[in-house]
Structure 1
Amino acid sequence: MKSLITPHTRHSAALLSLVLAMSFFSCEPEKEVQRVRFGLISDVHLPTMHDSEVRIRAFVDSMEIAQPDFLIELGDLVTPAPQYQSLYDIWDGYLGEKYSVIGNHEMDGGYGLEQVLEHRKLERSYYHFEKNGFQFLVLDGNDKRTPDEKGYRNYIGAEQQAWLRETLSRVQGPVVIFSHQSIGPLGAMHNGEEIRQILETHNASSPESPVIACFNGHLHYDDARQVNGIWYVHVNSAAYFWMGEEYEHIRYSEEVDEGFRWIKYTAPYRDPLFAVVEISSDGEIIIHGKQSEYVGPSPWDLGFPETDREAIRPAISDRVLHVK
């Protein structure tokens, strides 16, 4: 019997097989890209600035329009002092999801950590929450290195380190860390290198749930740098760069200076600074920041040292960061 299979039918059969194979694979569900958006502000220092109310109000109003998944302030917002409650109420009045980090200035005026936690409605100063498949860890850099240590602190102690290791061991999904003091290479954390080692050890053993970024305030810097696969992002102050008493300069008026005696030691930003951050599970971090200018002379006009000049600017820079 003559074969019914011809070169043409063989070609058609092969093409049909290819089409069927492509159809099969195209039916496999693609891995869904997860995304999260959050509003971010740091170091408002209510009420160091005479226009603090304007600055925190501008942030809250903008976030009510942007509608991110949550807000977070990275510390040094305000103490629990009753005379500042009306300023804090602007932040607290935001009806969406919001979180706080404890800064070193939250305890100014003789307030203790327990009073600050009660004021912020927090059970403790370090904690974990989840949003859209992302894991967020809030750390407290105000632990004591020694029982009798006085003044401002920049340390994460053994108990908190144990919590950090345990929490990292059980979370599922990309991890983002918030702190006030920096645990990155450009920072003031006394044991930052030790904390970074904990994060890097976790990433080596749990590549499916890596720490991808750490956001901090405190230094009033605008900076982002990647170290061993983790981004360390400095979020600039909403209000000013602190210079110190040797760079005293009257920026506004004698009347303002009389009521707000710390302003003359700062380089204030004309506009309030804050950001919206978007993170996707395919490894992209987008920071939508704000640009401003100094009120009066810049730090360099007053002879401020050139150290870290690239990070000292009146801005939170727009950035697109890629996770390796």
Structure 2
Amino acid sequence: MIDRRTLLKAAGAAALVTPFAGFAARSAVAQDAPQFRFGIIADPQYAPFPPRPGGTRYYANSLWKLDTALKAFNEEPLEFVATLGDIIDRHWDSFGDVLPIYDQLEHPHFFVLGNHDFEVGQDYLRSVVRNFGIERAYYDFTGGGYRFLVIDGNDVSTFAPPADDPRLEIAAERLAKLTESGAENAQSWNGSLSDEQFAWMEERLTSAKDAGEKVIVLSHYPVYPANIHNLWDSERIVELLTSHDNFVAFFNGHNHAGNYAAVGNQHFVNFKGMVETPDQSAYATVAVHDDRLEITGHGLEESRTLTIG
């Protein structure tokens, strides 16, 4: 018998596993034209429920906000769109409402998974990654002289690994150690990278350097500056990234208020949460130039010019 869960998994996989062949940087057809452009969405956090008391997190409104953003993206010459996690707020069935909205998008799209994407109960935890049509939650893709690293901050956490997974014990130890030190990001709704994933990221950075590629990291969780929302292992991640001169920018969500900091010409941009307001959205397009990234914010999202070396 085909149930709702089976149908959802089939629909999600069919929509998301289209191979991505990469893309070449565009030849300038006008003075100062960008090499390429892409779209960014952070934290739709959809659920069919009323807003949180206090007038924030308008969960149900994210359906029309996503619809509006994707239609706007379809009007622009983008190479891809990335959603930086927390597609849903809770409950497995929420995926069935929100993922089909992405079917209208005419550009390739990539998902970063957030902590709320695992608020689905033990019976579904092993199916979350597969539901997005990907083999694992961290991966990379290339285009336009750039390598994009999608990292998984839920890898070692107290909520994403299923019961009896050894990563749960590692997560408990990491969180206890941070709590004992008084770290502000010692929060159960944050997470960290496994040592295996960290080694993968280091190898991908080096491989990109050898290939003459610049690097942009896509994450759900921030790592810099210090913040209550940061990954538990943010310091070692920042140290690794900033030690590579081909690292350009780190884009994330999770902190719905947004944030920004830089280490020289290496940028850390926290995009604002789409879910936060009743009638105003938040999304952005990024134009990649030789010497800068031009972020054009829509709705709540800010516009920024980021100089790159």
Q: Which residue of 2 aligns with 1:3?
A: none
Q: Which residue of 1 aligns with 2:115?
A: 104
The answer to whether residue 258 in structure 2 is matched with residue 286 in structure 1 is no
User: Displacement, 1:83?
Assistant: 5.0
Q: Which residue of 1 aligns with 2:249?
A: 213
Distance 1:71 1:59, change over 3 A: same
User: Displacement, 1:118?
Assistant: 1.2
Report the more deviating stretch, 66-75 or 149-158.
Answer: 149-158
Q: Which residue of 2 aligns with 1:192?
A: 234
Report the more deviating stretch, 65-74 or 185-194.
Answer: 185-194
Q: Which residue of 1 aligns with 2:207?
A: 170
Identity %: 26
Distance (Å, rounded) in 2 between the aligned partners of 1:174 and 1:144: 27
The answer to whether residue 96 in structure 2 is matched with residue 59 in structure 1 is no
2:84 pairs with one of 49, 70, 74: 74
Distance 1:39 1:80, change over 3 A: farther
Note if contact 1:200-1:228 (Cα within 8 Å) is conserved in structure 2.
Answer: no
Distance (Å, rounded) in 1 between the aligned partners of 2:86 and 2:45: 5
The one-letter amino acid of 2:115's match is N
The answer to whether residue 168 in structure 2 is matched with residue 147 in structure 1 is yes
Note if contact 2:61-2:278 (Cα within 8 Å) is conserved in structure 1.
Answer: no
Distance (Å, rounded) in 2 between the aligned partners of 1:95 and 1:123: 23
User: Displacement, 1:132?
Assistant: 1.5
Note if contact 2:260-2:269 (Cα within 8 Å) is conserved in structure 1.
Answer: yes
Distance (Å, rounded) in 2 between the aligned partners of 1:72 and 1:66: 15
Distance (Å, rounded) in 2 between the aligned partners of 1:109 and 1:40: 25
The answer to whether residue 219 in structure 2 is matched with residue 182 in structure 1 is no
- 3-state DSSP class of the match of 1:51? helix
The one-letter amino acid of 2:45's match is H
Distance (Å, rounded) in 2 between the aligned partners of 1:288 and 1:217: 16
Distance (Å, rounded) in 2 between the aligned partners of 1:154 and 1:95: 33
Q: Which residue of 2 aligns with 1:323?
A: 308
Note if contact 1:39-1:68 (Cα within 8 Å) is conserved in structure 2.
Answer: yes
Distance (Å, rounded) in 2 between the aligned partners of 1:165 and 1:220: 28
User: Displacement, 1:142?
Assistant: 1.1
State which structure, 1 or 2, has the greater radius of gyration over its C-alpha atoms.
Answer: 1
* Count of aligned pairs: 236
User: Displacement, 1:33?
Assistant: 8.8
Q: Which residue of 2 aligns with 1:123?
A: 135
Distance 1:180 1:64, change over 3 A: same
Distance (Å, rounded) in 2 between the aligned partners of 1:131 and 1:176: 11
Distance (Å, rounded) in 1 between the aligned partners of 2:238 and 2:86: 23
User: Displacement, 1:34?
Assistant: 7.0
Q: Which residue of 2 aligns with 1:255?
A: none
| Runs of 4 or more consecutive aligned structure 1 residues displaced over 4 Å after TM superposition | none
- 3-state DSSP class of the match of 1:316? coil
User: Displacement, 1:195?
Assistant: 0.5
Distance 1:157 1:239, change over 3 A: same
Distance 1:278 1:113, change over 3 A: farther
User: Displacement, 1:180?
Assistant: 0.2
- 3-state DSSP class of the match of 2:75? helix
- 3-state DSSP class of the match of 1:239? helix
**Which blocks of at least 5 consecutive residues in structure 1 are unaligned?**
1-31, 204-209, 241-267, 292-314
The one-letter amino acid of 1:175's match is V
TM-score, with length taken from structure 1: 0.68
TM-score, with length taken from structure 2: 0.71
The structure with higher relative contact order (CA 8 Å, sep 6+) is: 2
